[in-house]
Amino acid sequence: MAELKDSEKKKPVKKKFFNYLFKLWILFFAGLAFIFLLFYGVANEWFGEMPSFEELENPQSNLASEVISSDGELMGTYFIENRSNITYDELSDYLPNAFMAIEDIRFQEHSGIDEVALARVIYGILTGNSAGGGSTLTQQLAKNLFPRGRLNKFQLVMRKFQEWVTATKLERYYSKQEIFAMYLNTVSFGHNAFGIKSATSTFFNKPPDSLNLQESALLAAMVNAPTRYSPILHPENALTRRNIVLDQMYRYEFIDIETRDSVKQLPLGVSRYKMLGHTRGIATYFREHLRGELKEWCKTHFKPDGTPYNLYKDGLKIYTTINAKLQRYAEQAVREHLASDLQPSFYTHWKGYTYAPFVFEDLKPEEVEAEVDKILTQTVKRSERYRKLRNAGVGMDSIMDSFNTPVEMEIFSWKGTIDTIMTPMDSIRYYKYFLQAGLMSVESGTGFVRAYVGGIDYSFFQYDHVIQGRRQVGSTFKPFLYSLAMSEGEYSPCYKVPNIQYSVELYDGTFWSPKNSSDKRIGEEVTLKWALANSNNWISAYLMKRFSPQAVIQLCRKMGIESPIPAVPAIALGTPDLSLYEMVGAVNTFANKGVFVKPTFITKIEDKNGNVLEKFVPERTEALDEVSAYKMLELMKGVVESGTGIRLRYKYGFNNPVAGKTGTTQNQSDGWFMGITPDLVTGIWVGADDRSVHFRSITLGQGANMALPIWALYMQKVYADPSLGVSQGDFEKPLRDLSIEFDCEKFDRQKNNGLGEIDEDEF
């Protein structure tokens, strides 16, 4: 009986145990079913929209449009987020190892979710001993592609599950290499650098495939917390974190111990750091001009979905004609001449003068003071500070008080930016002293603009002196008048004209009789080549008397000059206000055998996937016959051989064929030089923003002193770089046989020796 009762007692225990076990299995399978339904619901958008396959293929990230030089250098970007995409093949071999070592060592093994790391996180939560995060690189990519924004707690939990599902989709659709490249394209590294390409350019000024071990480790160190580990803001934190990455790379056998220990001793290596922006890098004035053209282009060009392209979001690739080497040489030449020579001379020239640097020769002292105040007030009204205050409804008296109140500011100097305290009005007066410059260099045969310098520093002076600025061109206009004479067939370089004063009758019956700046060879017969070389105004008047202003203007239009030109004889001396862009394009006609080719900035535009959206071909117009263009080149050679540009020979050592023309305007407000070689045609303008600011002497203020040295310094650098392949040879003669003698001394000897019948019209 007792035994029966014991067995009966055991049955309920077993039954309870099996009931408990059964419930556990029920809970387990219910949990699995719940998890399955949860992920099924997430994948089928029960808890919110999920990205489609098309969206995964084309994530809607803001891609910067890239401005690329003709020699393949990234010069700058237009962006909301400074982000540019790359492929895995464009990465340094060190980058994947560095990122996997610190972020996701099982990246090559898992399928989007790392169960080991996830278990480690759960264990850490339960025990309070956290040992790192559980997100894989693929999950981080999913998070970066589809930012969370503002979410409540429930939405945040659901978004985490959505990211897991997205990560598994990414692993299914893409290779590991593609996922890794996409991840690096979406990461922020701080300092306005989004994606690995922008980061390497910002911190190291190099492309991603050129990174060394320590640079790769530093970028991998930063990605976890870009501000905390910034090598610029917190270098000690960055160094410690970088060395942790190196330790991890050694731990996982990506590097050996000797490499780890030696690289740990190296500095961060960010000496070439430069945060990319619209006012930084090379060709800033060019890129700003291009921005306006591209914004207009976007308005008339549409994506497959019918919307217009967005310059700041759609990742366009703009291939330009600028050569990065030539651009740097041009910028260096401008800086070298102005910073080291011309600007110091200008300061010395004006030292001790009350109203410096303004010149009003015909005004009384009290009138000069009033005129200076007027100029400064006009400058105030053109300033951004003034516009903001006026738009805010601030009265004029209060505005002027603010301009006379000292404030902290950064000001430009040739030795670097200066932090100081001064009144905005004093800063305006300070900036009036600075001489500005513009340079444009064109490849003669193609019309491609190879270098473009619109000013001395775009961060402080944002007026473009290549296209925006129009100034009197002085004697650089004379070649257009002479080329008209050459094209008529009656004149040639050795044609002689008496060097006397000529008068041209005007419409009102009065006469225009220009003066000469030199008394050389007065009363003698001089050749046209000599007259152009010495910028003789009397011979220009003689030619203007033979040809009307309208005829000169008509030729200028064929040569691409569109600015207004008054139909008066004085244009022979260069009174029109023209842009440097127009002048270089027109003068290039001589080098291009009489064919005007419109200066071109862009060769093609591609979309973010490399599809060509448009190609650009320069416009061409025949303006002169080939022989007349060659005659003008020979005439302009005389400027360098024996005329106003002769310092190119004796001071700068140019012995190769160079055609050129200097230009100096009234009161030395503008100095010009146009230099022509067989491959490059380059124009330079130098002056101040205000025409009343200039040298008081022709010796210092002439184009040969202000502008010509920039051309010389630029071309010295160009010729010293054999990789550019710029020729130092002579200009190509026309194909037709020329019986013209361009050596005027030889021509005179032939005449004096009575060598046959010579038709002067042929010379």
Q: Which of 242-251, 310-319, 356-365 has the lowest mean pLDDT?
A: 356-365
Confidence of residue 493 (pLDDT cuts 50, 70, 90): confident
State residue 43's pLDDT score. Answer: 53
What distance, in Å, lies between the first and last C-alpha atoms of the chain?
148
Residue type, 43: A
Beta-carbon contacts of residue 297 (< 8 Å; ≥ 6 apart): 309, 605, 614
* Residue 31, token pair as written in the block: 């949990």
State residue 626's pLDDT score. Answer: 93
Closest CA to 382 of 685, 691, 689, 694: 689
State residue 22's pLDDT score. Answer: 65
Range ranked top by mean pLDDT from 21-35, 146-160, 655-669, 729-743: 655-669
Quick one: average pLDDT of 156-179?
75
State residue 229's pLDDT score. Answer: 95
- Say yes or no to pLDDT of 128 above 60: no
Rounded to whole angstroms, the Cα distance separating 320 from 70 reads 6
Q: Which of 83-87, 201-205, 493-497, 691-695 has the lowest mean pLDDT?
A: 83-87
Q: pLDDT averaged over the chain?
A: 86
Beta-carbon contacts of residue 718 (< 8 Å; ≥ 6 apart): 326, 329, 680, 724, 726
Confidence of residue 759 (pLDDT cuts 50, 70, 90): very low
3-class DSSP assignment, residue 533: helix
Rounded to whole angstroms, the Cα distance separating 692 from 431 reads 14
- Say yes or no to pLDDT of 707 above 90: yes
State residue 666's pLDDT score. Answer: 83
State residue 149's pLDDT score. Answer: 54
- Say yes or no to pLDDT of 349 above 90: yes
- Domains by residue range for the chain, with CATH: 83-276 (1.10.3810.10), 358-432 (no CATH), 437-604+617-752 (3.40.710.10)
State residue 274's pLDDT score. Answer: 81
Confidence of residue 137 (pLDDT cuts 50, 70, 90): confident
State residue 124's pLDDT score. Answer: 57
- Say yes or no to pLDDT of 755 above 90: no
Cis amide linkage into residue 357, ω under 30° from 0 = yes
Contact predicate 682/443, CB 8 Å: no
Rounded to whole angstroms, the Cα distance separating 763 from 758 reads 9
> Which spans in 682-740 are helix H?
698-701, 703-706, 708-719
Contact predicate 465/289, CB 8 Å: no
C-alpha pair distances (Å), 522 with each of 450, 531, 573, 748: 42, 12, 19, 19
Quick one: average pLDDT of 154-164?
61
Quick one: average pLDDT of 204-229?
93
- Say yes or no to pLDDT of 746 above 70: no
- Say yes or no to pLDDT of 758 above 50: no
* Residue 78, token pair as written in the block: 């237009």
pLDDT tens figures, 580-600: 999 999 999 999 999 999 999
State residue 147's pLDDT score. Answer: 60
Token look-up 């029109």 returns 576
CA angle 660, 665, 667 (to 5 degrees): 140
Specify the pairing of strand 65-68 against strand 317-320.
parallel
- Say yes or no to pLDDT of 551 above 50: yes
pLDDT tens figures, 435-446: 999 999 999 999
State residue 763's pLDDT score. Answer: 27
- Say yes or no to pLDDT of 200 above 80: yes
Beta-carbon contacts of residue 680 (< 8 Å; ≥ 6 apart): 441, 442, 443, 444, 450, 715, 718, 726
Q: What is this structure's pTM?
A: 0.82
Residue 18 CB burial class (10 angstroms; 0-12, 13-18, ≥19): exposed
Full DSSP string of 353-409: -TTTTB--TTS-HHHHHHHHHHHHHHHHHTSHHHHHHHHTT--HHHHHHHHTS-EEE
Confidence of residue 298 (pLDDT cuts 50, 70, 90): very high
Confidence of residue 153 (pLDDT cuts 50, 70, 90): low
State residue 174's pLDDT score. Answer: 87
Diameter of the chain measured on Cα atoms: 161
The region, left, alpha or beta by phi > 0 then psi within -120 to 50, assigned to residue 411 is: beta
Range ranked top by mean pLDDT from 103-117, 137-151, 165-179, 350-364: 350-364
Residue type, 757: E
Contact predicate 584/683, CB 8 Å: yes
CA angle 125, 130, 135 (to 5 degrees): 85
Closest CA to 508 of 452, 569, 467: 569
pLDDT tens figures, 52-80: 555 555 666 778 899 999 999 989 888 88
State residue 84's pLDDT score. Answer: 82
pLDDT tens figures, 381-407: 999 889 999 999 999 999 999 999 999
Quick one: average pLDDT of 658-679?
95
Beta bridge partners of 83: 194
> How many CB atoms sit inside 10 A of residue 697's CB?
11
